[in-house]
Amino acid sequence: MGADLVIPALAAAFGAYFFFSIADLAWEAKANGMVIGAILLILVLVQLVRIGMRLRAGDADLGFERLISPRDALPKRIGLVLITIAFIATMHWLGVTLGMLLALFASLWILGVRSRKALVLVPLAVAACVYLLFVAALQSDIPHGPVEWLLEKLLS
């Protein structure tokens, strides 16, 4: 069950970051952030309770073997982690829209998607939704890059 603690630990860290990062946003964004963060932390607690119950019953241990098995999937997992790190590290330069588009494209490629239609449409659709929701509708302070600046000039 040790492997089952990785996602909750990352989610809890993300939830904490989320709470700190919304401090300077408008009250509507803060309210949304609080709801999303609270739900995330509740789900983490549910997972921890579930793991604790299995450990107490003796049905599981805290081994990490499931995290590295099957071994042939490990390069893909590492690739996805590296893409996530690159997305976070470059978001301030690329902006959230372009960064999301590139990260999703790379993730799909690593996962074995080779359909040109899927490789183009899925990242475009998600990036467009992120732009419309967070930039256009909520006018949040997420990082703006070339796409956001271009669309702002075209739409204003």
The reported pLDDT for the residue numbered 85 is 93
Note whether 67 and 7 are within 8 A (CB): no
Q: What is the pLDDT along the chain (156 residues), one digit of tens a residue?
A: 677 888 888 888 887 877 777 777 777 777 877 888 888 889 999 999 998 898 899 887 887 777 777 888 889 999 999 999 999 999 999 999 999 999 999 999 999 999 999 999 999 999 999 998 888 888 887 889 899 899 989 987
What local confidence, expressed as pLDDT, does residue 1 receive? Answer: 66
pLDDT number for residue 82: 95
